[in-house]
Structure 1
Amino acid sequence: MNKIDKHNRLAEEIFSYKVTKDNKVFIYWCGKQVTILVGKQRDKFLERIHGAEPLEAQLIMAKVTGNFKRGNERTVNGKSEYGS
């Protein structure tokens, strides 16, 4: 896992998820919603995440969200709004 998470960010548990009553899965990064899973994608995610170790769960959520950061995040006083 060291090659995948060189800066050890996943150990900080920056990703989280919530399943709603209507079976949608909301995935959050640093408390901000980044994606919603439904249908087959949701089913596959829940199957993979069930019983996963915390670090493995973080990696699964990171992969599902994909490359959503493109370097165009808003900045406040020259610093990224997201702290990275």
Structure 2
Amino acid sequence: MPAPEGFAYVVRGADVVISHHGRPVTTLRGRRAAAFLDDVEREDPQELMARLTGNYRRGNERQARNHPRNRGR
């Protein structure tokens, strides 16, 4: 699975705006913004932002495609 890429963040006052390929995806405020800024120093920032925005692959896409509920799609 390739590593996530294209994420960036900007701190605006007490808020953190996360963008993906230049488009704003989410804004973190309060405790979540503070926790993010602490975690970004210790973890891989790209993976952390991908997790927070929900924009990452879970590895089960092929299984889901073959599920009986999705076969006709």
Cα offset for 1:50? 1.9
TM-score by length of 2: 0.67
TM-score by length of 1: 0.59
Instruction: Return structure 1 stretches of 4+ with deviation > 2 angstroms.
Output: none
Matched residues, number: 56
Contact 2:7 2:21 (C-alpha < 8 Å) held by counterparts? yes
Counterpart of 2:51 in structure 1 is: 63
Q: Which runs of 5+ in 2 are unaligned?
A: 56-73
Gaps of 5+ in 1: 1-5, 68-84
The CA RMSD measured in Å over matched residues stands at 1.9
**Structure-2 separation of matches of 1:36 and 1:50:** 18
Letter in 2 for 1:19: V
Q: Which has the larger radius of gyration?
A: 2
| Structure with the higher fraction of residues in helix conformation | 2
State which of 26, 35, 56 in structure 2 corresponds to 1:35: 26
1:50 and 2:57 equivalent?
no
Between the two structures, name the one with larger relative contact order (CA 8 Å, sep ≥ 6): 2
Counterpart CA distance in 1 for 2:6 and 2:36 is 17
